[in-house]
Amino acid sequence: QVQLVESGGGLVQAGGSLRLSCAASGLTFSRFAMGWFRQAPGNAREFVAGISGITGGVNYADSVKGRFAISRDNAKNTVYLQMNSLEPEDTAVYYCAAARFGRLTWREEQYDYWGQGTQVTVSS
């Protein structure tokens, strides 16, 4: 049984930083591409960042480039999202996702497993 458990969300002032973690179990973690998505109230879920399970390559949504960084520790079966220079527009529930596909992808439909989400709130 695959489980993805996010942690690290919370309330932060604009300009601050947070680091999200996603601990995975029940899968061969190193073979999976991992991604972070977010959903703000009234909005569709959107891609934030992804990291390949094969090459470790990364990609980001334009809105977070230069501010967020995704990384993974295959020994700990964990993926991280370091979020700096946070803005009120970053307020959302952040979801971790895993894709058997293995390669870098921003496509939500290519992710097979999802975490329960963690709330990030950025105050102005």
Mean pLDDT per 10-residue interval, the chain, length 124 residues = 97 98 97 97 96 91 98 97 98 97 90 97 96
Query: Strands, DSSP E only, in the chain?
Result: 3-7, 10-13, 18-25, 33-39, 46-51, 58-60, 68-73, 78-83, 92-99, 113-114, 118-123
pLDDT reported for residue 56: 87
Instruction: Fill in the DSSP letter of residue 16.
Output: -
pLDDT reported for residue 55: 84
Chain position carrying tokens 């700096």? 84
pLDDT reported for residue 54: 76
Contact 26, 2 (CB under 8 A): yes
